[in-house]
Amino acid sequence: MADTAQPHNAPATSDLVAAYNFAEPRIHLGAVVESGEPNPKAPLYMPLGMLNRHGLIAGATGTGKTKTLQLIAEQIAAAGTPVFVADMKGDLSGIAVAGQASEKLTARAKARGQEWVSRAGTTEFFSLGGHGKGVPIRTTVTEFGPVLLSKVLGLNDTQESSLSLIFHYADQSGLALLDLKDLRALIQYLTTDGKDELKSIGGISTATAGVILRNLTQFENSGADAFFGEPAFNVEDFLRKDSDGRGMISCLELPGVAERPELFSTFMMWMLAELYQVLPEVGDLPQPKLVFFLDEAHLLFKGASNAFIDQVIQTVRLIRSKGVGVFFITQSPKDIPADVLAQLGNRVQHALRAFTPDDAKAIKKAVATYPTTEYDLEKLLTSLGTGEAVVTVMNEKGAPSPVAYTAMRAPESSMDPAPEAEVDRIVAASTLAGQYGNVVDRESAYEILKARAEGGQVGEKESDASPATVGTEKPRASENDAADSTPAKNEPGFVEKIASNSAVKSFFRSAGTVLGREITRSLFGTTKKRRRR
């Protein structure tokens, strides 16, 4: 425990306990610190229903941010709400393993009024496109859409408009954009052999196409190409509960993501946009449908354009009404853009360091974002010990609670990373591995355009093709052959012969394509889908 004597003008403990004594369901955060020691009779809680007001967990390295994330996430899941955690450093995998009791841990829990129980969260491990261990998460370029792709590529308004035209052409022409090579092939086609295709709706200049292709190449080199492809992940699989009614903890393993921030940004924006699209408007619920924890959140904004940040702000603001809460975990509040920070109603601030003048300025800015308090926050924030924090949460009326100097409770799952053998066991037992584990590379824009360029015929696809890809093939038989092979109406088996005729098959595929080509897109440019029943 740090030697941080409680200021004489600190709020009365009884007032803090009353302000944080929320009705169930709620999350236990810890206990009020009095004169440098936790008071086990002064518990502090966070209302589960207010987690859709989003949150921030901040603090210098080694101050306990990850453990705070863990103790909150495991309680949310135990209460029946699914949780998503982005595990940048592998520190969070221990949430899948029951914690080991010890004298030190028992004493810490008792001092905070916590009845510590060893338990693990029901956990599913995921990876981005197969980078790392876990069920691979992928999506198609068609489903990702032009709006988000423009943001992550850093395109200007003119270039974004051109990219939208390209997607419109693909949607109308039944050209599925499954991965980045499909998009590259289509852009090259529309600026060479197919340059007249877009003239009626504005066209695309060679210079603009060149910029998009160069940015696309840089994006691919960052490792983001692994995220695009099939089978496309359904984000509703993050909303599952186990057989006991506990929320599933979806743990995304992200090894080396600090070297590929574009991949992380791309994934997060797509995922939140998809959830916004498929979830109904619900307003405030007794507990949210899903809560996200984004560790190392500064990576989301590293080198981001203003347009991308605007997209994050819009997403965070709107997704609250869908019953989704988002927590950002980072070293300093200054890592989060001001307009995003303004959306984060729940705050757990661990110690900040003032080694430089810039650090001192950052502390003053952090203090200014907290409700008025009797604490000397500038002094307190630089003297907090490991596992201590300054807390304020949204109460049930949507107003911030008083600032409380808090000794955080202990996680009940393992505070060490899970053994590799245990992670392997969980991944092998996953019910989703068979659905998403193997890459599918079916016929799409790249193959169709290549066949056109070579003057060949495109092979027929059967029931596994989507509305955006079927019907693009040319019938192998000539019209005369088709006419000769068409049976007379009075012949036996007329219907069966008609149904098996290749020209007729091609007609029905084409008809299906016309009905399915007009892909409608959401506010974020992703393809609109019906929620899974």
Domain ranges of the chain: 20-138+230-437, 141-227
The band of 495, judged by pLDDT with boundaries at 50, 70 and 90, is: very low
Cα dist from 252 to 70, 84, 162, 292, whole Å: 14, 8, 34, 11
**Residue spans of alpha helices (H) in 332-400:** 338-341, 357-368, 377-381
Span 161-167, average pLDDT: 94
Q: Residue 123: pLDDT above 50?
A: yes
pLDDT at 198 over 80: yes
Residue with more model confidence, 158 or 492: 158
12-21, 78-87, 244-253, 304-313: segment of lowest average pLDDT:
304-313
Residue 124 has pLDDT above 70, yes or no: yes
The encoded tokens of residue 50 equal: 């207010």
Res. 151: pLDDT tops 90: no
- The yes-or-no verdict on residue 155 having pLDDT over 80 is yes
Q: Report pLDDT for 503.
A: 38
> How large is the average pLDDT for residues 351-361?
89
Band (515; pLDDT cuts 50, 70, 90): very low
Q: What pLDDT is recorded for position 516?
A: 41
Report the alpha-carbon distance of residue 402 to residue 395 in Å, rounded.
10
Please indicate whether residue 414 or residue 153 has the higher confidence score (pLDDT): 414
Q: How far is CA 79 from CA 82, 184, 249, in A?
A: 9, 46, 12
Copy the structure tokens of residue 274. 């998809």
| H or E, element range at 346 | strand 346-349
Q: What is the mean pLDDT of the chain?
A: 85
pLDDT greater than 80 at residue 287: yes
Task: Please report, rounded to a whole number, the percentage of residues in the chain having pLDDT higher than 70.
Answer: 84
So what's the pLDDT on residue 142? 94
- Look at residue 464 and tell me whether its pLDDT is greater than 60: no
Q: What's the one-letter identity of residue 363?
A: I
| pLDDT (mean) for 472-500 | 43
- The answer to whether residue 488 scores a pLDDT higher than 60 is no
* Average of per-residue pLDDT across 39-59: 97
Cα distance between residue 178 and residue 181, in whole Å: 8
pLDDT for res 489: 44
The region, left, alpha or beta by phi > 0 then psi within -120 to 50, assigned to residue 46 is beta
Name the DSSP class of 478.
-
Poorest-pLDDT segment among 396-400, 464-468, 469-473: 469-473
pLDDT at position 139 is 94
Would the pLDDT of 524 be above 90? no
Q: Label residue 130 by pLDDT band (50, 70, 90).
A: confident
Q: 160-169, 248-257, 274-283, 455-464: which has the minimum mean pLDDT?
A: 455-464
- For residue 328, give the H/E element and its range: strand 324-330
- Among candidate residues 383, 392, 393, 391, the one with its CA nearest the CA of residue 351: 383
Range with top average pLDDT, 202-206, 211-215, 478-482? 211-215
pLDDT of residue 257: 67
Tell me the mean pLDDT in the region 458-486: 39
DSSP of 247-309, one letter per residue?
BPEEEEE-TTGGG-HHHHHHHHHHHHHHHHHHSPP--S-SS-SEEEEETTTHHHHTT--HHHH
Tokens read off for 239? 């909303």
**What does the pLDDT read at residue 533?**
53
pLDDT the model gives residue 100:
95
Between CA 195 and CA 165 the distance in angstroms is 13
pTM recorded for the entire structure: 0.83
**Which of the two residues, 15 and 532, has the higher pLDDT score?**
15
Average pLDDT over residues 195-211: 88
Predicted confidence at residue 369, as pLDDT, reads 87
- What integer pLDDT is reported at residue 258 of this predicted model? 66
Residue 129 tokens, joined: 């496109």
Q: What average pLDDT does the segment 230-244 reach?
A: 95
Q: Does residue 158 or residue 527 have the better pLDDT?
A: 158
Average pLDDT rounded to a whole number, residues 79-103: 93
* Nearest by Cα to 142 from 177, 94, 169: 177
DSSP 51: G
- State residue 225's pLDDT score: 86
Instruction: From 101, 148, 113, 65, select the one nearest 348 (Cα to Cα).
Output: 65
- The CATH homologous superfamily to which domain 20-138+230-437 belongs is P-loop containing nucleotide triphosphate hydrolases (3.40.50.300)
- Look at 251 and 88; give whichever has higher pLDDT: 251
Ramachandran quadrant class, 192 (left: phi over 0; alpha: psi -120 to 50; beta: rest):
alpha
- Inter-residue contact 408 to 28 (CB < 8 Å): no
With a cut of 80, say whether residue 461 has pLDDT above it: no
Residues contacting 3, CB < 8 A, separation 6+: 36, 383
Q: What is the pLDDT of residue 184?
A: 96
Give the confidence band of 305 by pLDDT, cuts at 50, 70, 90: confident
pLDDT of residue 463: 36
**Model pLDDT for residues 393-451, shown as the tens digit of each residue:** 999 999 999 999 999 999 999 999 999 999 999 999 999 999 999 888 899 999 999 99
Q: Is residue 169 scored above 70 in pLDDT?
A: yes
Look at residue 240 and tell me whether its pLDDT is greater than 70: yes
